[in-house]
């Protein structure tokens, strides 16, 4: 046992994919709600 971690790219990829999905998904959900609220407000 050297104590050095080898490989692990699958965890790195998963962390970046999860981060992108959550941050972009949340940003789009806020944009979507903003669009529907401003449309309702204009009516």
| C-alpha span between 30 and 21 (Å, rounded) | 14
Angle among Cα 13, 20, 5 to the nearest 5 degrees reads 25
Q: How many positions of this chain bind other proteins (CB under 8 A)?
A: 26
Question: Within 3-42, which residues bind other proteins (CB under 8 A)?
Answer: 3-9, 11-12, 14-16, 18-19, 22-23, 26-27, 30-31, 33-34, 37-38, 40-41
Sign of CA dihedral 24, 27, 29, 32: negative
- Interacting residues toward other proteins by CB under 8 A: 3-9, 11-12, 14-16, 18-19, 22-23, 26-27, 30-31, 33-34, 37-38, 40-41
């Amino acid at each position: 046992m050297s104590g050095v971690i080898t490989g692990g790219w699958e965890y790195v990829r998963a962390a970046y994919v999860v981060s992108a999905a959550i941050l972009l998904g949340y940003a789009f959900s806020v944009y979507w709600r903003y669009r529907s609220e401003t449309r309702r407000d204009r009516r």
